[in-house]
């Protein structure tokens, strides 16, 4: 996981996520395995594994650092 300190300016890093808009819904962006393939109906065909992206932002300089973690089975 990311450190509490920014690697660029030594400021404080805070956890968040990248927002993804989809047909009126607000979603957490995800990293998808493989190359993007176009789809007429959905924009892109998704066949690989998906991992939610957690992003850390420096409160001083705004630097972003993102991680795509493997979801924990529930």
pLDDT on residue 54: 92
Distances (CA, A) of 54 to 8, 17, 37, 64, 70: 19, 5, 24, 10, 11
- Is residue 73 one of the residues assigned to a domain? no
- Is residue 1 one of the residues assigned to a domain? no
Q: Which domain holds residue 19?
A: 13-66
Kindly report the pTM of this predicted structure: 0.74
Number of domains in the chain: 1
**Band of the pLDDT at 71, cuts 50, 70, 90?**
low
- Is residue 62 one of the residues assigned to a domain? yes
- Is residue 3 one of the residues assigned to a domain? no
- Is residue 19 one of the residues assigned to a domain? yes
- Is residue 6 one of the residues assigned to a domain? no
- Is residue 26 one of the residues assigned to a domain? yes
Is pLDDT at 32 greater than 90 in this prediction? no
- Is residue 74 one of the residues assigned to a domain? no
Is pLDDT at 3 greater than 80 in this prediction? no
């Amino acid at each position: 996981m990311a450190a509490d300190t920014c690697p660029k300016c030594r400021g404080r890093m805070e956890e968040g996520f990248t927002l993804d808009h989809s047909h009126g819904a607000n979603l957490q962006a995800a990293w998808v395995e493989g190359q993007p393939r176009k789809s007429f109906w959905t924009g892109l065909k998704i066949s690989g594994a998906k991992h939610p992206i957690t992003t850390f932002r420096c409160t001083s300089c705004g630097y972003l650092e993102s991680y795509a973690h493997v979801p924990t089975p529930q």
